[in-house]
Amino acid sequence: MRSRPFLSMLCTAAMVLLAAAVPTAAHADNPIVQTVYTADPAPLVYNGRVYLYTGHDEDNSTYFTMKEWRLYSSADMVNWTDHGSPMSVATFSWAKSDAWAGQVVNRNGKFYWYVPVTNRSTGRMAIGVGVASSPTGPFTDALGHPLVENGEIDPTVFIDDNGQAYLYWGNPNLWYVRLNSDMISYSGGVNQIPLTTAGFGTRTGNASRPTLYEEGPWVYKRNGIYYNVFAAKCCSEFIGYSTAPGPTGPWTYRGTVMPTQGSSFTNHPGVIDFNGNSYFFYHNGALPGGGGYTRSVAVEKFSYNADGTIPQVTMTTSGAPQNGTLNPYVRQEAETIAWSSGVETEPSTEGGMNVGYLENGDYIKVKGVAFGSGATSFSARVASGTSGGRLELRLGGPTGTLVGTCTVAGTGGWQTWTTVTCPVSGATGTQDLYLRFTGGSGYLFNVNWWQFAGAGSVR
């Protein structure tokens, strides 16, 4: 019996709530994942894509109930492909709970995921390391035990131009170690960064924590300047930052990146440059049912000031602009989504993920689809354990211009796959494509991938 988790029931309500706040609600693209609650964004630029590693807040959470990490990737900053969960607490046999905020870095042809989890034997937070040969995993425990453990959280990793790697972490303190080139050991001991008011700002009303630094450091280097962007104060948190001439300081507090906002009492930064632009990732509680324990990752584009300082960034529902277009004439995963309503994802027997739990009126938005001179047909890989339904192809909105309809019959199982094809007329130029799922009551069908054909294709 297929049962629909709590969040998907709220996705249609999400559009209603957004419509009340934004006239063009159908075009809202923040938060960038609507199928589950996500938190603690950690973006990685690799091979022409942004890989976004996140935490996963469980539905109905009343604490930071997190059992796994999730992964999404994009080549254009708006259409995000769901890669499922490449690592979980269960990856670490010595851990018992708390898949909290981590980060992935690439080195020596491998990908290292540094995460805080609770050590089963000590009951304290410790930093583990997952390793994989691909950014999409699967990740395995690189050590079989913690890399470092002092009860504190939120690791960030930075590799300097000279090849020296640093692991920083901490709440309420701020620590670092110098990682060896194998990325799973360190030299020189555990070092504490002095939390001075000059370095990390002044907090009032808390004698035990005189600076603004709270948690969630994100350390990187840009144009010779070292940045430490972090969650500040508590609670609710804002995002502040400091800069330094070297990776270990001395740090100078520079001010606010993102003021307190967004219906979540925590926040967590992730900062990258990609395809000539700068992006700031964060989380809030913007989805229905969202809040401090049910968060959602979002992103904004920003530009550094001429002196390298970071301007204040405000949360929006529009998100970052599209960086490029999407080619509909190559196979596209159905779980590549700019916005969705009522849609969930699950592992597919054909590999990767598929979209499922689709009911009448649910839809997926794919942004900036470059049809060129025109598409003439559409194919999709589908499966249905019931009597199926219809896959409508619409432009501009979920009830926009209808350019094609594929009929999906029952296939005898939710993972019994077949390919359906239907004619298309009127899909030209660059358009926002909506895959709208219609039919009777209950679940209709699953979709694994789709592809257009026609005169507009470039070979």
In contact, 215 and 200? CB cutoff 8 Å: no
State the burial class of residue 107 (Cβ atoms within 10 Å of its Cβ: 0-12, 13-18, 19+): middle
Q: Which two tokens stand for residue 446?
A: 């699953």
Q: Exactly one of 214, 237, 344, 362 is catalytic; which is it?
A: 214
CA dist list (Å): 45 to 140, 191, 446: 21, 28, 30
Instruction: Give the largest Cα separation in the chain, rounded.
Output: 69
Residue-wise burial string across 362-371, b where 16 or more C-beta atoms lie within 10 A, e elsewhere: bbbbbbbbeb
* CA dist 157 → 112, 119, 260, 272, 290 (Å): 10, 21, 25, 13, 29
Active-site annotation holds for 40: yes
CB of 359 within 8 A of CB of 424? no
Q: Which helix (H) or strand (E) holds 130?
A: strand 125-132
- 98 catalytic per annotation: no
Count of Cβ atoms closer than 10 Å to residue 225 Cβ: 15
Q: For 414-451, b where at least 16 C-beta lie within 10 A, e where not — what string? A: bbebeebebebeebbeebbbbbbbbbeeebbbbbbbbb
Catalytic residue (one of 29, 40, 58, 335): 40
Nearest to 332 by CA among 359, 361, 358, 352: 352
CA-CA distance, 287 to 57, in Å (whole number)? Answer: 12
Catalytic positions, written as ranges:
40, 214
